[in-house]
A and B are shown apart, each in its own frame.
Chain A
Amino acid sequence: MMNNFILFLIILIALALVALIYRLIKGPTVPDRVIALDSIGVSIIALVGLFSIYVKTSFYMEVALLLAILSFIGTIAFSKFIEKGEIIDRGDSD
């Protein structure tokens, strides 16, 4: 019963991932694509967590944490690129 429920949730998140990938490719503007990429990161974290419950091991938890960190940094870099046009300041312009 529990296993079937988790499989159902995994399939739902996979469908959400397909929709997000459509938005990532089609997305009319750049912020759409950035938000789609961030949501893909969050969905993959949820997918890894559910899969870790499904196969009854805790080794995948570090993968989820690592993906969260990388997705966080990537989103910040994209946001800064959209807003300022440069990612890393040199620090002597002002």
Chain B
Amino acid sequence: MKMNNVILKTTVQVSFFIIFLFSIHIFLAGHFAPGGGFVGGLLTASALVLLLLTYDIKTVQKLLPINYMMMTAVGLALALGTASISVFFGDAFFKHYFSHFEIPLLGNTELHTAMLFDSGVYLVVVGVTMIIIQSIGGDE
């Protein structure tokens, strides 16, 4: 039974990008405001789930050819590497460095190494959620 959901497909083509941009906003807001890697990753995963609901697994895989296993592995390596890099400088495990930089277009910006750890968490959350949903939704 083939269905042609014109309304759903048209809506999702716009709202996917809105949800994705909101997830990026939540992810970047996460140090001084509510948010962070975990919530941002879950929102990105829910945007991808919206695509999976509207189209099917093969179309989404052709649209975004991402190996989610690899994504999870890269995220874990990034999180572990950021957490353990401070050991080599003689500081404690999970020590967090930050400083102020002059960035063109953004002005004086505070950059943290916690952001790198958070992006690792983001990649792990997106990867694991998509692996679970694809393997649950893909079986007979």
Interface residues of A (CB under 8 A from B): 59, 62, 65-66, 69-70, 72-73, 76-77, 80, 83-84, 87-92, 94
Neighbouring B residues of A72 by C-beta, 8 Å:
15
Question: Which residues of chain B are near A77, meaning CB under 8 Å?
Answer: 53
B104 within 8 A of A: no
B53 touches A73 (CB 8 A): yes
Q: Are B58 and A92 in contact (CB under 8 A)?
A: yes
CB pair B59 A76 closer than 8 Å: no
Of the candidates A66, A84, A88, A91, the one whose C-beta lies within 8 Å of that of B3 is: A84
- Using Cβ atoms and an 8 Å threshold, which residues of chain B touch A76? 8, 50, 53-54
* Residues 34-51 (chain B) with a chain A CB within 8 angstroms: 34-35, 39, 43, 46, 49-50
The listed residue (A70, A83, A90) touching B138 by CB distance below 8 A is: A90
B103 in contact (CB, < 8 A): no
A-B contact pairs, 9 of them (CB 8 A): A66-B39, A69-B19, A69-B22, A73-B50, A76-B53, A76-B54, A89-B55, A90-B137, A91-B57
Query: Among B22, B49, B137, which residue has its beta carbon within 8 angstroms of that of A73?
Result: B49
CB distance B56 to A88 under 8 Å? yes
Is B26 an interface residue, CB under 8 A from the partner?
yes
The yes or no answer to B64 lying at the interface (CB within 8 A) is no
CB–CB B2/A69 < 8 A: no
**Chain B residues near A66 (CB, 8 Å)?**
22, 26, 39, 43
Given contacts A76-B8, A88-B133, contact A65 B22 (CB under 8 A): yes
Overall SS of chain A's interface: helix
B54 to chain A, nearest CB (A): 8
CB distance from B62 to the nearest CB of A (A): 9
Q: Are A73 and B3 in contact (CB under 8 A)?
A: no
CA distance A84 to B37 in the complex (A): 34
Least CB separation from A86: chain B residue:
B137
The 3 closest A-B pairs by CB, nearest first: A88-B137, A91-B58, A91-B56
CA distance A91 to B134 in the complex (A): 12
Closest to B8 in A: A76
> Assuming the A-B contacts A62-B34, A65-B22, are A94 and B2 also in contact, with contact meaning beta carbons closer than 8 angstroms in the complex?
yes
